[in-house]
Amino acid sequence: MTIKLGLQIPNFSYGTGVSELFPTVIAQASEAENAGFDSVFVMDHFYQLPGLGTPDQPMLEAYTALGALATATERVQLGTLVTGNTYRNPTLLAKAITTLDVVSQGRAILGIGTGWFELEHDQLGFEFGTFTERFNKLDEALQIIIPMIEGKRPTFSGKYYKTVEAMANPRFRERIPLMIGGSGEKKTIPLAARHFDHLNLITTFDELPHKIAVINQECEKIGRDPATLETSMLVIALIGDQVSVDAVPDDFKARAAVGTAEQVAEQLQAKVFDAGVDGVILSPVTLGGYVPGGITAVGEALKPLISG
């Protein structure tokens, strides 16, 4: 897995009827693929997130949507940014991701995290618990999911999950790449160093150099070459000639790139790539709905930065 330039689809509020909603998703994914993006991600949520909209705005179930996108694309890697572990039994998630890998002919990425959106848990009946409990659940889940997607049959008895010779067949590849999202220095980064192929950093531009230093330290503690843990940053993008950072929600301003495609590319070079991060996943602000062309323009502007 290599992620130099990914696209996250952060919302499905396009101002269209439901009948045109998924064709618009396909249009974005196809534009990204044709523009040279290497991956497309959807959020794993059931309600829209605070800061992006109200809970009742359109939100598609992630793995159903990804399965459909797998048939509408040919090259881009597909995944969630990232799966909430609390929403699915780990054996179900192992089955979902191996199925996506078969349907996509080996393009699935398993992004996974603890889960954090309390309103979803409360209203839909998922147990939320404390952050420590959610992290412990994730740790147990990985002891089931990783062997299953590698073709093993784990028997596991933990505090939260139990399996008996669990298996996931068919599988397309020997191993599906693992991604975790976040930037916590006590839990997330050490966990990434131990188990993951890719760490997507959810942080601010100013904090990036420090986070990279922590990643290097955690890898060295366990004897892992830091170069083998690929990194990217999730960046909010507002693309256009007449746009202002004022249009970006306050919570996201410290990790937003704003302006023309060329200006966005310059900001990504200075603030992300020059900080030592391997790649960027853009989450475009689609004010007034999806407008074709912006993704293509950014892809063209970034080609010199991501080639090779």
Q: What is the pLDDT of residues 165-218, one digit of tens each?
A: 999 999 999 999 999 999 999 999 999 999 999 999 999 999 999 999 999 999
Question: Model confidence over 120-149: pLDDT tens digits?
Answer: 999 999 999 999 999 999 999 999 999 999
Q: With pLDDT > 70 as the criterion, what percentage of the chain qualifies? A: 98
Q: Which residue has the higher pLDDT, 218 or 250?
A: 218
Over residues 99-109, the mean pLDDT reads 98
The C-alpha atoms of residue 202 and residue 4 are separated, in whole angstroms, by: 16
Tell me the pLDDT band of 282, cut-offs 50, 70 and 90: very high
Evaluate if residue 286 carries a pLDDT over 90: no
- pLDDT-derived band of residue 246, with 50, 70 and 90 as boundaries? confident
H-assigned helices in the chain: 18-34, 62-72, 90-103, 118-124, 131-149, 188-195, 208-221, 261-271, 294-306
| The pLDDT of residue 288 is above 70 | no
Query: What integer pLDDT is reported at residue 62 of this predicted model?
Result: 98
Whether the per-residue pLDDT at 2 is higher than 90: the answer is no
Confidence of residue 20 (pLDDT cuts 50, 70, 90): very high
Per-residue confidence at 155, pLDDT binned at 50, 70, 90? very high
Q: To the nearest whole number, what is the mean pLDDT of the chain?
A: 93
Q: How far apart are CA 211 and CA 276, in angstroms?
A: 10
Contact, 236 vs 283, CB < 8 A?
A: yes
Classify the C-alpha dihedral 49-52-58-62 as positive or negative.
negative
Q: Give the residue-averaged pLDDT of 252-272.
A: 91
Asked if pLDDT for residue 249 goes beyond 80, the answer is no
Do β-strands 156-157 and 162-163 pair in parallel, antiparallel, or remain unpaired?
antiparallel
Q: What is the pLDDT of residues 29-70, one digit of tens each?
A: 999 999 999 999 999 999 999 888 899 999 999 999 999 999
pLDDT higher than 70, residue 308: no
For position 1, what pLDDT does the model report?
66
Neighbours of 15 (CB within 10 A): 10
Q: Which domains occur in the chain, in start order?
A: 5-306 (3.20.20.30)
